[in-house]
Amino acid sequence: MTKPTKRLNKRTPTTNRADGSSAGGGRNRSGAGQAKARKSIADNKYVRVAAIMFLPILFGVFGLIVFPPSFDLSTNNVTNPSNSTQKEPIIHGNMRKNDKIRRDKTKKDVEKTQSQTRKDKKSKERISETESFKPAILDSLRMQEIKVEGNIVTPVELTKNNPASPVKVYKIEGFLTDRECSGLMRVHQHYLTKTSSQNPIICFDSLSTLRRHIQDAGMKGVTVSYKDFTEGTACINSSFSERLGSSLTWSRSTSFYPTESKFSTVFEDRVFKATGLKQTNGGKFQVTSYPEGIGYKTHTDCTLGNQDKRDRFATILVYLQDVEEGGETKFPELGISVKPKRGQAIVWNNMNSNGECEPISVHEAAQVRKGHKYIIQRWYYYQSFAYLGRRAPEPALPARAPGQPRVSCDEYEHGSCRWYDEWNNDHLTEYRALQSGLS
């Protein structure tokens, strides 16, 4: 490789002028001028070096202004969005996951607060409505004939041979149409199928009733006490309920309330016109089915000795289909027995005009020996009260799965077990103590 040839600067002859400047286009200068030029060049070089060194700092400051870093105070981290490939620091797990957990928790807290606010508002509304509520008294039946889809329907008194009886029983044939009966049975069966996958929790009116049912079930060696009831209730737990439930039998009831069905308005209007039972004093509508071998023991619909006037003054019951054998509604003290007939209603008062429960109103649902019995019934109360006929919020106790049904077994000698698709307060110990104080 040949060495590069060193380039020589050729000087052009100059002629000094009288003023001390040089000729030749100003290229040649005096010694002082040349020193000054070299100093200027050196100064320019330092300026360029300083500028080059300062530019990154300038760009950095500009970047901080345009793209400020993100300060995460919860983790004391500074996340620079310009470095997208940098891995997230891990502090007690992935930070994004922790952030999501915190957001979910905050959302649940907000929802819980909103839910509690709604409950408090409803509670205040209930208190306000209760304070301003004026009860209505229902103390008599006023029976008269009506028309049902063009047909004249006439009540017939079954106690006419017992004029001194404070309890009157009436029969009304054709009170419901075939279409209405079929529709009610279809809806009832739909709800039974919907809840059939869950075993019910079983509740008892007393410890003695639980012991009698255990005895009937042949569960030898099983001893129970109040400790077997879940806290605050008269119900046994799910596992015990499943074990005992395989040996028990019961009827099944599903309920609906006014405004929850168009039929409720039709039914209560028809009842009022035929019996005088006022809508303001009516409770829920209850559809009940009895398979073969099932009935309900003798009982009264009102509570004997009860001083509370908010009790069931009258009952209307309508049969939704014929029953081949058994299933009669019997009044042993009155010598009355009514065989189920599709569309036929029976109506009676349980209390007298003074609002006292009449023991002579005792009745029973005889066991179905062949076929399947379906009825719809509604109770009317002597003295109405706030929220009568409205679906109440279900109590939190006992702990249970969503939609899990219950079975209530009433007093062993005067009741039976019945399956329900809803929960009320009857099984709560505090509620029972309050009720007993009113008796």
Q: What is the predicted pLDDT for the residue at 110?
A: 74
Q: To which residue do tokens 């039998």 refer?
A: 249
Residues 6 or more apart whose CB falls under 8 angstroms from that of 436 comprise none
The tens digit of pLDDT for each residue in 239-268 reads 999 999 999 999 999 999 999 999 999 999
pLDDT given at position 109? 75
Max Cα separation, the chain? 162
Tokens of 120: 């408090």
| pLDDT tens string 370-404 | 999 999 999 999 999 999 999 999 999 999 999 99
pTM listed for this prediction: 0.72
Separation CA 169–CA 173 (nearest Å): 13
At 113 the pLDDT is 73
Is residue 395 classed exposed, middle or buried when 0-12, 13-18 and 19+ CB atoms within 10 A define those classes? middle
Residue 209 token pair: 């009733």
Q: Which stretches of 173-309 are assigned E, i.e. beta strand?
A: 201-204, 251-256, 282-290, 296-299
Dist CA 222 CA 243 (whole Å): 12
Q: What is the mean pLDDT of each run of 10 residues along the chain (439 residues)?
A: 43 40 41 53 55 60 52 39 43 58 71 67 60 93 97 97 96 98 98 94 97 94 95 97 95 96 96 98 98 97 95 98 98 98 98 98 98 98 96 95 96 95 96 78
Residue from 57, 112, 380, 416 nearest 253 by CA: 416
The position carrying tokens 């099984």 is 427
The residue whose two tokens read 């939704």 is 320
Residue 118 confidence (pLDDT): 66
CA distances from 238 to 194, 198, 242 (A): 19, 10, 6
Element (H, E) at 297: strand 296-299
Question: Which residues are registered as beta bridge partners of 346?
Answer: 171, 317
- pLDDT computed for residue 60 by the predictor: 60
- What CA–CA distance (Å, rounded) separates 200 from 421? 9
Which three-class secondary structure state does DSSP give residue 165?
Answer: coil
| Three-class secondary structure of residue 112 per DSSP | helix
**What angle (nearest 5°) sits at the alpha carbon of residue 297, between those of residues 296 and 301?**
85
Q: Which domains does the chain show, CATH number per domain? A: 134-384+407-438 (2.60.120.620)
